[in-house]
Structure 1
Amino acid sequence: MFTQSEDHSKQFEREKVRLGMWFGFAAGLAFVLTLWVVDGIRLASAHAVFPWAKLALGILPTLILCTFAGWASSKLENALFSMLVWLATGTLLCLLASHIPFEGMDRFYKWFNPELAWRTAFPFNTGVSSRFDVVLVICVAISAIGGVFFKMLVENAHSAAAKAGTIFPLVIWIVVFVSLASPIDYMLQMPLREPVVAINNLVEKRIDTFTNPLDKEDFRKSRLAALNGLDDLITAPRHLMLSRYDSYLIMTNVSINFGGVWVDCTVFANTETEPPAQQPVFCKEIE
């Protein structure tokens, strides 16, 4: 009788550890989808060069780290240990995800397309570092709160009689990691992504005016004058890439390859709007 009870207890613990690993994997997947899949979709739709590079760099470390954290925090019956594990995990994810768009992309270009690498510069400068400090504080707070509730969520999911009782704790846990990824995207990735999207939209709008002309006022408001002198180029196949930015991620430059001819566009982020509106200033052909 004692042996059967002991075996049942061990099976119960194994199931809980397995469920903890699935919770960890789901957390990593939610983080990846929120931070890099959405980013990749927007960049791909904007004809960006290497739109999935950040996903390629981040997906495996994230999933491995979160799955391991789920296993480790479920293995021991200690709420404090669980909280510390997820605090460390969230902090490491924040460090990884915050540096991938900068040093990570620098290395990616050097590895996979050295010819483009000399056109880009992604320094982790003072302004970026200030944004990162804010992001890190948010990540630490969210990770600590999530870690406090992890064991309770896993235990509730494990003991639930109905399937819905398992899903609800998992959804809550996923929300924690969506919340963890969102400020990283908003403060560090979006200022690098949206100028590319804005310039691509401007090119598409200019092409549309060839068949649907605008009056002078609408033309001015649309900032299409930034593309003046480039009408012979913009119908060619294009690939866009962020090339550089200022210390505050307010003034950025986007390079466009129009069938072998390079154009450089300057974009200004209007911080008076929320989110900041990306306003193309001018574009010029370069060598």
Structure 2
Amino acid sequence: MSDFFRWAYDNRKQFALDILAGSFSGMCNIISSHPMDTIKVRMQMSHDGIIKTIGSMVKNEGIFSFYKGMLFPFISVPILQATVFSTHEFWKRFFVGDSKQQLSCYQNMIAGGLSGLAASFISCPVELAKCRLQMQTQNINKVYKNPMDCMIQIARKEGINYLYRGMNVTCQREILGYAALFVIYDIVKDTLMSLKQKKEATNLDMLISGGLGGIACWTIGYPQDIIKTILQCDTGIGNSRKYKPHVFDGGFYSCLVEQVSKNGWRCLFKGYSVCIFRAFYANAIGFYAFETAKKYLNK
């Protein structure tokens, strides 16, 4: 154990550089993807299609409604992406050191899953505030003034522990999603490089690999994201909660059963088309930004 901590200490400079590169990736990600995320959340909480959802938002709330709840993610997503990428790079160096050797699929799944677990502790309260703000359809008499006010009100009215409402399902989504993200990213990038018989990935290779990795990430984690959104938009506390928690599931099981029994399994993919479109370009940009920043910082 002491050798592990000594090794981690010796790699502190590279870890710091990975954090900076991940932060830059996060800023590029949130600027490009937030409007589509707002549409996704609205679709998840209604029975409207994408065209009706967009039309209703523009007509009733204006064009800036697509950026509701963005301030907090703009601050937090760079932190989240820094956590994800730096954690993955940390475990990558743990498995293969500074060599150019690629992670095995199994090792990449572990590194991706651990990065997702670390991300859960940041993403859960952030997405709770984001979802509550995105669901405010009126521009007057708002319940929450801004992300910080939202979190303060939740802590006061529902309890500090409710800032982590949906944590169980968030962990499921993040661990599975990020494991898939990094595995598919490396598989696609290596395949493209081998087809072109090149030793380094081109910009296009990174964009395609990141985009397809994002699709894999959100495809495997989307049903969990639906349940997470519903649980986080439920403002009930204690016995007044609509979906009662069982052991450590946080209400996941009762919410899942009710949604599928009432609306069929297809309800677990409401807003999927919007999400996949967003996932492709956001992760394409995110990975490209990370790889570019990492290369620049390590010169």
What band does the TM-score fall into relative to the shorter chain? Answer: 0.3 to 0.5
Higher strand share goes to which structure? 1
- Computing the radius of gyration from Cα coordinates, the structure with the larger value is 1
Question: TM-score, length-normalised on structure 1?
Answer: 0.42
Question: TM-score, length-normalised on structure 2?
Answer: 0.41
